[in-house]
Chain A
Amino acid sequence: MTMLAAAGPVIPNYAAQSSSCEVDNHLFCWRWVAHNWGPVLWPALRQHILLALVAVAIGFVIAMALALAAHRYGALERPTTIVTTTLYTIPGIALFELLAAPVGLNVFSAEIALVSYTLLILFRNILAGLRSVPAEVLDAAEGTGMSRTQTLLRVELPLALPAIVAGLRIAVVTIIALATIVYIIYDRGLGVPIHRALGEGPFKTELIAAGGLAIALALLADGLLVLTQRMLTPWARARAG
């Protein structure tokens, strides 16, 4: 652990550029943020976005495949649920440690861990969405001569969209939060400045800035998904009136 932390970026030298705010350990120093945005915060934020995006993308592809399989072959639902639930219940730190030995301290172990936490959420929501399609709509699809694939692409998936996006929102927010502990095995993301700030004693600006960025990122991603869903499902808001 200590070895890993030591590999992180050098702690900023306050003395060289210190203002009274930094020297007096005020709660939050904008000047510090301005100085450290380029060298520290922005790279960490970028890494964080990439970590989360890759994890959710890969998790989505796997969960979609699992959900489609379970939708078609109902017997697959239970085993898939058991496996993804088990993965979801492993404590984050333990999972990172478990992966470190076989995979190494690298991007792969980080992503494997993050992806495994998306699977249960996404699988459950996609499957629920596919199953929410009313029986009479499926009957009409069959009766008008749609094939199974056409029914899936033209009817089931579009109607499952609200549930799928709901799953994505939970997964994205969860993974953005969880990615702050990736630093344990892989020194990337907002977890790095957060962890360092915790060791910086009374100076709280770095902790607040990096933590605040993680929160803001989660809220922004959630908002973007809400907007995307609104654009993709105009029918969901259409009501008699």
Chain B
Amino acid sequence: MNIADTAHSEGPSAFAQAAELQLRGVSKRYAGQREPAIRDLSFTVPAGEVCVLVGPSGSGKTTAMRLINRMIPISSGEILLGGRSVLERDPRQLRREIGYVIQQIGLFPHQTVGENIATVPHLLGWPKQRIRARVHELLELIGLDAQEMHGRYPAQLSGGQRQRVGVARALAADPPLMLMDEPFGAIDPINRARLQDEFLRLQGQVRKTVVFVTHDIDEAIKMGDRIAILREGGVLAQYDTPREILMRPADDFVAQFVGADRGLKRLALTTLAELKLIEPNGHAEDWLAGDVRPDGVVRVARETSVRDALSALLSAGGRPLAVVDADDRIEGLVTIELVEQLLSDEVASA
């Protein structure tokens, strides 16, 4: 049995599947300030999708996130979770149904890893047995050794481990919605990429509705099923899939925010596995066979993004790369022309 099955069918879960999140004309105006922090924000996150709120500082992305679990009271408009207004709910009950992850993690330093993860189940009054089972299940899910890590204190963990525990704590009661405020912002770039990949793998299993705040457009493109780009003053500039945003920025602000290299970024959205590779025959096969360095053919995994493959192509002096599967069998070749073809196809189909 794999972990996903455990998490869903066998797990001592509290809530049903992910819920749809809807913001309708939400505004936030602080007393004594002329301009609102959030202005007439409306978008819908389908159940089980990751929505990334991204924007420069002062765009109110964190504020927008904290309106959802009512840590900041909304001034006007409506937020519906699973079709039900969050304003009808008791704030504390609501928050126990919404996973909450912040950049500084905020683990309770006086509690063990196990106790930290058990926070919300404990508040919900789950029986001890069920809490213990759930904590172990989550430690497995985030790839930490349950026996070894269960009794440790946060001070005894590395930054990456703490962040994983923070995510496990948020997932503990199997909430239909997760709020994540720059969860990997304080992690070094190498570990950040690893945690991002891990979270995407995890999300593939648990399929939560996620609102993910970041200021990093690359992270937004990587993590988001949809991206909400906010501009200063809390105005929604564009809400779309990463591909649409990269191909058709709504205005100059978005175009500038996603960067001049948005063509390259688009390539990052596609993996080699999605391309129609060149069959390794004819000229190509000769090239492979006749290569002066038989082991020198650059091999790339089929999961590699086209952007990384292009980088490898340029490093290889423009010679084709061999795309290999998990067993190192050659599936086909990728060339610079193929990448060009991909870009022009996308523009044509747009």
Residues of A within 8 A of B (CB): 134, 136-147, 150, 154-155, 158-159, 161, 233-236, 238-241
Contact with B158, one of A136, A238, A240 (Cβ below 8 angstroms):
A240
Please name all residues of chain B whose beta carbon is closer than 8 Å to the beta carbon of A137 when the two chains form the complex: 106-109
Are B123 and A146 closer than 8 Å at their CB atoms? Answer: yes
The answer for the CA separation of A158 and B155 in the assembled complex, in Å, is 16
Please name all residues of chain B whose beta carbon is closer than 8 Å to the beta carbon of A234 when the two chains form the complex: 153
Contact with B95, one of A144, A154, A235 (Cβ below 8 angstroms):
A144
Assess A145 versus B102: contact at CB under 8 Å? Given A150-B123, A235-B155, A238-B155.
Answer: no
Interface range on chain B: under 10, 10 to 19, 20 to 34, or 35 or more?
Answer: 20 to 34
Assess A140 versus B107: contact at CB under 8 Å? Given A145-B96, A238-B153.
Answer: yes
Would you give the 0/1 interface string for B97-112, flagging 1 where the beta carbon is closer than 8 Å to chain A? 0001010111111110
Are B109 and A241 closer than 8 Å at their CB atoms? Answer: no
User: How many Å from the CB of A182 to the closest CB on chain B?
Assistant: 38
Residues of B within 8 A of A (CB): 69, 71, 91-96, 100, 102, 104-111, 119-120, 123, 152-153, 155-158, 169, 179
Please name all residues of chain A whose beta carbon is closer than 8 Å to the beta carbon of B91 when the two chains form the complex: 145
The answer for the CA separation of A146 and B179 in the assembled complex, in Å, is 16
Please name all residues of chain A whose beta carbon is closer than 8 Å to the beta carbon of B153 when the two chains form the complex: 234-235, 238
User: How many Å from the CB of B179 to the closest CB on chain A?
Assistant: 8
The answer for the CA separation of A143 and B105 in the assembled complex, in Å, is 11
User: How many Å from the CB of B238 to the closest CB on chain A?
Assistant: 28
Contact with A238, one of B94, B119, B156 (Cβ below 8 angstroms):
B156
Q: Which residue of B lies closest to A147 (CB)?
A: B92
Assess A144 versus B100: contact at CB under 8 Å? Given A136-B105, A139-B106, A158-B110.
Answer: yes
The answer for the CA separation of A90 and B182 in the assembled complex, in Å, is 53
Please name all residues of chain B whose beta carbon is closer than 8 Å to the beta carbon of A140 when the two chains form the complex: 100, 102, 105-108
User: How many Å from the CB of A140 to the closest CB on chain B?
Assistant: 3
Q: Which residue of B lies closest to A158 (CB)?
A: B110
| 12 A/B residue pairs, CB under 8 Å, sorted by A | A134-B106, A140-B100, A140-B106, A143-B179, A145-B95, A146-B92, A147-B92, A154-B108, A233-B110, A235-B111, A238-B156, A239-B155
The answer for the CA separation of A241 and B107 in the assembled complex, in Å, is 19
The answer for the CA separation of A140 and B104 in the assembled complex, in Å, is 9
Chain A to chain B: the 4 pairs with minimum beta-carbon distance, closest first? A140-B106, A143-B100, A145-B95, A136-B104
The answer for the CA separation of A64 and B169 in the assembled complex, in Å, is 31
